Structure 1
Amino acid sequence: MTPHPAPSRRTVAKGALLGAAAVLFGAPSAGAAQGPSVLRLPAPTGPHPVGLRTFILTDPSRTDPWVSGVREVMISVLYPARTVRGFPRVPQLTPAEAGVFALLAPLVRPGLPAAGVDWGAVLTHGHRDAPPLPGRRPVLLYTPGGGDSRTLGTTLAEDLASHGRIVVLVDHPGDASQVELPGGIRETVLTGPPDPVTFRTMIDTRVADLRLVLDRLGDLPLASVMDPRRIGVYGHSAGGTAAVHALAGDDRITAGVNLEGYLDLDPELVAGLARPLLMFRTDGFEGAARIESSWAGVRARRVLLPHADHWVFSDYAHLVPQLQAAGLVDAGVRAALVGAGDTRRATAVVRHGVRSFFDRRLEPVVGGVRAPDPSRSASQ
């Protein structure tokens, strides 16, 4: 486990990729002519400011399935901070990641603009290296949607941390759009929806990555504020699939949340799951029939988000409406990505639902009996 230092401003765009982007995307849009749009993420709702630290984990026992060499996993740990005075807010993407994402965005999520957005200017509400609030707290692992980087789960993670939880955002190099590792930028190997073999590799790799994180929690500098007896997992899309598989196969995890992930990869495994599980889905997702079929028989509480689409569970819920307001995407693109409904309302429902679920399921155990969590804020 190695702390990840502030990134250098290295040149990351490859000549071939730049050439392809010019052919595919042409000239900048009219919105870009007025200067790049600066997007904002919504503030968390809890009483605590949020600290953030980033680490690289290396697993010498595994060979990376996408490239040669040992497996490396990047994580960001968000936590309630004692103070954030003097500690800067962290950009959602490093300068190097932002440069690559600007080129990949329309390929990773069709409809996103090829120009006109300053992706490197999006700030999180996490403050780099701020001192943590004392006290042991539940730990929640997050695994993102296929093709997404971990930082696109910032909005929900910050809200959970602001309410007294510790959240570990896990990147999965190879299928993440891009992630900056000590050796440079790793770009996604995905060129479209994964075929069955690729999807199996993605999920197996993600579950192994989550286990690696669990194995190393005690080695992190923040271990003193983590309660290893209270661990939950949640994920979106492919991350939801991986979260449920990890929940079913690792006794260290108590409860999980699936944000619209398929569950037909190992039906016997998930059908036998007896641990607490909460599942969200939207009414607009094109894979709704497969979701319904794969969820049949799974014991879980379910929540439906109306007038919403698949990527509303990520930070796109807030970024895409701002892009529409700036004239960089149209209503059709917005509807296809996050739905035509009120994304702020959807975010509030997801935030409250996920937080309340984990609060109930991860209460501390005293003398074999679950007791109220003293670290929970009065607003909960």
Structure 2
Amino acid sequence: MTPSFTPGRRSLVKGAVAAAAAVLSGGTPAGAAPHGTPPPLRLPAPSGPHTVGARTLYLVDSSRTDPWEPRIGVRELMVTVLEPAAAGGRFPRAPQLTPAAAAEFTTYGPLIHPPLPATGVDWAATLTHARAGAPRLPGRRPTLLYSPGGGDARTMGSAFAVDLASHGWTVLTVDHPGDASEVEFPCDRPGRGRVRPTTLLGPPDAATFRTMLDTRVADLRFVLDVLGLERVGAYGHSAGGTAVAQALHEDRRIAAAANLEGYLDLMDGQPLPVARYGTDRPLLLAGTDGFRDARLDRSWETLLRHGGPVTRRQLDDAHHWVFTDYAALVPQLHHAGLMTAAGRTAMVGRAAPRVTVPAVRALLRSFFAAHLGR
């Protein structure tokens, strides 16, 4: 039986998450749209004591050719570094999406996630709670890597990453260009524009999924290499969760990992090595009742049969993208009449963000505090 977790439970923070009743839904039914242009979408403020600073890294792996566009000739990555910073209002809040990235997302977002509205949203207007350019606080602190889901960019994991940083971690959110909805680069290069859109507009076939996984694991390991990192944590959503679990198996520099609803097999049903052989380092498997299916159960149970430091948790009355910024954004779109109730449920479930956001935050914080410190 899979333990479930709900927000506001002290047992969750302590890591002893018990089964609980499904939480009640929240929000306003579709059709109650206000008049005029909807206000900018808002991300939840972080809950920790630290101001968070943000800076961006452009990394180039000249030993690899981009698997999605060989004309580029190298493998490029964009990484956002979020870390505790000196307080000060003179540093502006970093946008979730720049105007150029938002223009691409306006096109590609609804193709990747059909419930999203094709019009009526200013995606460039949403601000994170990180301060661009704010100087980091001195001192050493544990580092976490984040890998987003297939089709999503690192920007859609901003709120949970900022919250972790506000509690004392350094968080690196990593884009995987080619399967991310859009990635903006600081320079031009043959084979791509300044903003590179996804090449994947439908469910991947078996070969594509394997390329995604192998590329993502190599991307994460390259970040560790180029930044000289040791003993880090990693968390990821969907395909990103699959990638961090497999990276845990392949690279002992990753001391603990959280897989947020990523399968642990290939599309032909073959278990990944991490599931086939098990792990001797902590691995969290967190899912939702809305997304749970036979394939997920089978691949996770393959790993769980080995025993070891593996824990499974489930969030009830929720769905797959509740582990991303969509947990907060989709209910606002529904409230504004820009999404149907069915579309909201299909993305994040019926539970209100006041329920799901604290629950996911507490689960991640308690897991990494127990196994990596801060």
TM-score of the pair, normalised by structure 2? 0.84
* Contact 1:144/1:150 (<8 A) preserved: yes
- Alpha-carbon distance between aligned partners in 2 of 1:268 and 1:50, rounded to the nearest angstrom: 36
Question: Are residues 1:201 and 2:205 paired?
Answer: no
| 1:301 alignment partner, one of 281, 297, 311 | 311
Counterpart of 2:243? 242
- Alpha-carbon distance between aligned partners in 2 of 1:136 and 1:270, rounded to the nearest angstrom: 33
**Identical residues among aligned pairs (%):** 58
State the Cα distance separating 1:362 from its structure 2 match: 1.1
- 1:91-110 pair list within 5 angstroms: 91-110=95-114
- Alpha-carbon distance between aligned partners in 2 of 1:310 and 1:253, rounded to the nearest angstrom: 25
| 2:54 alignment partner, one of 35, 47, 52 | 52
Q: What SS does structure 2 have at the residue aligned with 1:52?
A: strand
Counterpart of 1:19? none
State the Cα distance separating 1:216 from its structure 2 match: 1.6
| 2:295 alignment partner, one of 281, 287, 290 | 290
Deviates more, 1:33-42 or 1:172-181: 33-42
- Alpha-carbon distance between aligned partners in 1 of 2:210 and 2:42, rounded to the nearest angstrom: 35
- 1:128-147 pair list within 5 angstroms: 128-147=132-151
- Alpha-carbon distance between aligned partners in 1 of 2:301 and 2:281, rounded to the nearest angstrom: 16
**C-alpha distance 316-271 of structure 1, shift in aligned 2 (>3 A):** same
Q: What SS does structure 1 have at the residue aligned with 2:172?
A: strand
- 1:142-153 pair list within 5 angstroms: 142-153=146-157
* Contact 1:90/1:127 (<8 A) preserved: yes
Q: Give the AA of the match of 2:40.
A: V
Question: Are residues 1:166 and 2:170 paired?
Answer: yes
Question: Are residues 1:177 and 2:181 paired?
Answer: yes
* Contact 2:246/2:272 (<8 A) preserved: no
- Alpha-carbon distance between aligned partners in 2 of 1:194 and 1:274, rounded to the nearest angstrom: 31
- Alpha-carbon distance between aligned partners in 2 of 1:211 and 1:230, rounded to the nearest angstrom: 12
Counterpart of 2:161? 157
Question: Are residues 1:35 and 2:37 paired?
Answer: yes
- Alpha-carbon distance between aligned partners in 2 of 1:63 and 1:196, rounded to the nearest angstrom: 21
- Alpha-carbon distance between aligned partners in 2 of 1:341 and 1:177, rounded to the nearest angstrom: 26
- Alpha-carbon distance between aligned partners in 2 of 1:33 and 1:176, rounded to the nearest angstrom: 34
Q: Give the AA of the match of 1:275.
A: R
Query: Across the two proteins, how many residue pairs are aligned to each other?
Result: 326
| 1:279 alignment partner, one of 285, 289, 306 | 285
- Alpha-carbon distance between aligned partners in 2 of 1:302 and 1:344, rounded to the nearest angstrom: 23
Q: Give the AA of the match of 2:289.
A: D
Deviates more, 1:183-192 or 1:234-243: 183-192
Counterpart of 1:87? 91
Deviates more, 1:259-268 or 1:54-63: 259-268
Q: What SS does structure 1 have at the residue aligned with 2:334?
A: helix
1 or 2 for the larger relative contact order (CA 8 Å, sep ≥6)?
2
After superposition, the C-alpha distances for 1:157-202 in whole angstroms (9 at most, x for unaligned) are: 0110000000000000000000111220111111211111100000
Q: Give the AA of the match of 1:86.
A: R
State the Cα distance separating 1:344 from its structure 2 match: 2.5
Question: Are residues 1:189 and 2:199 paired?
Answer: yes
* Contact 2:232/2:253 (<8 A) preserved: yes
- Alpha-carbon distance between aligned partners in 2 of 1:334 and 1:199, rounded to the nearest angstrom: 26
- Alpha-carbon distance between aligned partners in 2 of 1:107 and 1:338, rounded to the nearest angstrom: 17
| 1:119 alignment partner, one of 116, 123, 137 | 123
TM-score of the pair, normalised by structure 1? 0.83
Deviates more, 1:175-184 or 1:162-171: 175-184
Question: Are residues 1:64 and 2:66 paired?
Answer: yes
- Alpha-carbon distance between aligned partners in 2 of 1:341 and 1:94, rounded to the nearest angstrom: 30
After superposition, the C-alpha distances for 1:50-99 in whole angstroms (9 at most, x for unaligned) are: 00000110000000000022110000000011223311100001110001
Query: Which residues of structure 1 form unaligned runs of 5+?
Result: 1-28, 219-227, 364-375
Counterpart of 2:28? none
- Alpha-carbon distance between aligned partners in 1 of 2:125 and 2:272, rounded to the nearest angstrom: 42
Counterpart of 2:221? 211
State the Cα distance separating 1:105 from its structure 2 match: 1.7
Question: Are residues 1:312 and 2:317 paired?
Answer: no
State the Cα distance separating 1:30 from its structure 2 match: 11
**C-alpha distance 120-339 of structure 1, shift in aligned 2 (>3 A):** same
Query: Which residues of structure 2 form unaligned runs of 5+?
Result: 1-30, 189-193, 305-309
Q: Give the AA of the match of 1:171.
A: D
* Contact 1:84/1:131 (<8 A) preserved: no
